[in-house]
């Protein structure tokens, strides 16, 4: 069925416009990487005649010319994201950046992220968000690997708004680390959480993989019956996400008006093998954090 523009509400129309915009920036330079972009991002108009943008890997300011970046690097005194280091394990650190305290950084991060996200309009009202920026650190500084954003207050129990692993770091387990981290924060808050929808194809694959592994690990170890509510309390994964994950693995039966988990150990092992690698582990003892008030 064809839908005329007049029948779309304002929000869908804006989203439709974002989708159909032509990709503007083809490549970016960020730290030691040159990265090909995937999608349109609404940079201010004066940047739209550049095919390539040069980002400062620490403050995320972007420039049109390499010489501008070189000049900037001589005076930029940041060596890590501008926020609190809330986790460090080996060379991996997580920084929490408050969008209200670091507005320009938050906006720059959104412009950068949109180059790799096509599925939704990003919110540029960064005041309302916290950004969790994952870095690999060495003697030159803390280099951003990826991030997720989180609303300070979510009515819908979202514990993650947007997630990105920068392309040079993808498929190494950082995505699952970021997802696991978002649930560790929810556990500390004593809340269940769920990612904001819609999920991209890669987002859904990563979440399915994470949910499957976490739930099957528990089911494997657990003796006797366990309810979806108990699984949710243990993992901070929202009950609906547990139900859809277990249903897609055909581990749920409907008996006498109730969902029942049927977990044959052999079936669990088969699913676990198919669920891929575990990703990088979050060492909760290294997380020093209190919920946002
Ligand atoms: O490696 P495993 O098999 O153990 O697990 C992978 C795999 O299952 C799947 N996956 C892929 N499968 C096929 N082809 C691929 N190219 C691929 N990439 C991932 O996902 C599992 C997770 O792997 P990971 O832990 O190594 O995750 P990454 O560091 O690669 O990060 C995953 C994300 C989704 C963050 C990354 O692909 C990304 O940044 N994509 C672009 C942005 C995006 O789509 N973000 C999600 C949007 S939805 C949203 O933000 C709302 C919540």
Q: Determine if ligand 1 sits within 6 Å of the CB of residue 174.
A: yes
Res. 211: pLDDT tops 60: yes
Determine if residue 203 is left, alpha or beta; phi over 0 gives left, psi from -120 to 50 gives alpha, anything else beta: alpha
Lowest mean pLDDT among 4-8, 139-143, 164-168: 4-8
Burial of residue 146, with CB atoms counted within 10 A of its CB: 0-12 exposed, 13-18 middle, 19 or more buried: buried
| Substitution site in 38, 110, 168, 202 for ligand 1 pocket (most atoms within 8 Å of beta carbon) | 202
Tell me the pLDDT band of 278, cut-offs 50, 70 and 90: confident
Q: What is the arithmetic mean of pLDDT over 107-132?
A: 88
Query: Would the CB of 162 count as within 6 Å of ligand 1?
Result: yes
Ligand 1 pocket, residue 193 CB under 6 Å: no
Cβ 202 under 6 angstroms from ligand 1: yes
Catalytic residue (choose from 7, 85, 196, 240) = 196
Q: Which pLDDT does position 111 carry in this prediction?
A: 95
Residue 174 is predicted with a pLDDT of: 97
Q: What pLDDT is recorded for position 257? A: 84
Q: What is the pLDDT of residue 293?
A: 75
The yes-or-no answer on residue 196 being catalytic is yes
pLDDT on residue 198: 93
Question: From residue 69, how far is each of 26, 59, 115, 222, 254 by CA, in Å?
Answer: 18, 12, 20, 55, 60
Q: What is the pLDDT of residue 15?
A: 64
Give me ligand 1 centre to Cα 107, in Å. 23
Binning pLDDT at 50, 70 and 90, where does residue 35 land?
Answer: very high
**Residues in CB range of 228: below 8 A, 6 or more apart:** 239, 242, 243, 246, 259, 261
CA of 165 to the centre of ligand 1 (A): 8
Please give the pLDDT value at position 274.
Answer: 84
Q: What pLDDT band is residue 126 in, cutting at 50, 70 and 90? A: very high
Res. 20 pLDDT band, cuts 50 70 90: low
Q: How far is Cα 52 from Cα 80, in angstroms, rounded to an integer?
A: 23
**pLDDT of res. 214:** 96
Let me know: does 212 contact 245? Beta carbons within 8 Å. Answer: yes
- 85 with 94: CB under 8 angstroms? yes
Mean pLDDT, the chain, rounded, equals: 91
Q: Is 99 in the pocket of ligand 1 (CB under 6 A)?
A: no
Cis peptide before 198 (omega within 30 of 0): yes
Element (H, E) at 17: helix 10-20
Residue closest via CA to ligand 1's atom 14 equals 202
Q: Does the structure show a pLDDT above 90 at 140? A: yes
Atom of ligand 1 nearest to the CA of 148: 50
Residue 234 CB contacts under 8 Å (≥ 6 apart), including other chains: 218
Please work out whether the CB of residue 89 comes within 6 Å of at least one atom of ligand 1.
no
Q: Which residue has the higher pLDDT, 253 or 141?
A: 141
**CA 204 to ligand 1 center in whole angstroms:** 8
The pLDDT of residue 292 is 82
Q: What is the pTM of this model?
A: 0.92
Question: Across residues 109-132, what is the average pLDDT?
Answer: 87
Confirm or reject: Cβ of 204 under 6 Å from ligand 1: no
CB 100 within 8 A of CB 151: no
Q: Which residues contact 286 (CB under 8 A, 6 or more apart)?
A: 87, 88, 89
**Residue ID of nearest Cα to ligand 1 atom 28:** 175
The ipTM assigned to this model is: 0.97
Model pLDDT, residue 208: 95
Examine the pLDDT at 4 and tell me if it is beyond 70.
no
Q: What angle do CA 146, 149, 155 make, to 5 degrees?
A: 155
Cβ atoms within 10 Å of 42's Cβ, excluding its own: 16
pLDDT at 8 over 60: no
Asked whether 49 and 110 are in contact (CB, 8 A), the reply is no
**By three-state DSSP, how is residue 102 classified?**
coil
Q: Using CA positions, which residue lies closest to atom 29 of ligand 1?
A: 175
Give the model's pLDDT for residue 1.
34
Model confidence at 2, in pLDDT bands (50, 70, 90)?
A: very low
Ligand 1 pocket test: pick from 36, 171, 278, 280 the residue with the most ligand atoms within 8 Å of its Cβ. 171
For the segment 113-141, the average pLDDT, to the nearest whole number, is: 89
Residue 28 banded pLDDT, cuts 50, 70, 90: very high
Residue 182 near residue 164 (C-beta atoms within 8 A): no
User: Percentage of the chain with pLDDT > 70?
Assistant: 90
Name the band, by pLDDT with cuts 50, 70 and 90, for residue 105: very high
Q: Is the pLDDT of residue 124 over 70?
A: no
Three-state DSSP at 191 gives coil
DSSP-derived secondary structure letter, 287: B
Q: Is the CB of 29 under 6 A from ligand 1?
A: no
The CA 279 to ligand 1 mean position distance, Å, reads 11
Does the CB atom of residue 145 touch ligand 1 within 6 A? no
């Amino acid at each position: 069925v064809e839908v005329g523009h007049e029948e779309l509400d304002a929000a869908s129309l804006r989203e439709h416009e974002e989708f159909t915009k032509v990709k503007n920036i083809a490549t970016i330079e960020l730290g030691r990487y040159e990265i090909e972009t995937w999608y349109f991002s609404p940079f201010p108009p004066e940047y739209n005649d550049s095919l390539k943008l040069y980002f400062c890997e620490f403050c995320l300011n972007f420039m049109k010319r390499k010489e501008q970046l070189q000049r900037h690097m001589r005076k930029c005194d940041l060596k890590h994201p501008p926020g609190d280091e809330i986790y460090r394990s080996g060379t991996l650190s997580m920084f929490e950046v408050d969008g209200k305290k670091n507005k320009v950084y938050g906006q720059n991060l959104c412009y950068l992220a949109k180059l790799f996200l096509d599925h939704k309009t990003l919110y540029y009202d960064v005041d309302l968000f916290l950004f969790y920026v994952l870095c690999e650190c060495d003697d030159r500084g803390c280099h951003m690997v990826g991030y997720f954003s989180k609303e300070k207050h979510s009515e819908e129990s979202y514990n993650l708004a947007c997630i990105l692993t920068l392309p040079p770091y993808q498929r190494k387990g950082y995505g699952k680390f970021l997802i696991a981290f978002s649930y560790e924060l929810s556990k500390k808050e004593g809340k269940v959480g769920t990612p904001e929808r819609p999920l991209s194809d890669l987002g859904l694959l990563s979440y399915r993989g994470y949910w499957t592994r976490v739930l099957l690990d528990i089911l494997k170890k657990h003796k006797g019956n366990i309810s979806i509510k108990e699984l949710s309390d243990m993992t901070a994964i929202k009950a609906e996400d547990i139900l859809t994950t277990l249903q897609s693995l055909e581990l749920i039966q409907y008996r006498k008006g109730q969902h029942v988990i049927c977990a044959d150990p052999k079936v669990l092992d088969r699913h676990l093998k198919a669920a891929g690698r575990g990703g990088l582990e979050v060492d909760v003892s290294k997380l020093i954090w209190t919920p946002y008030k």
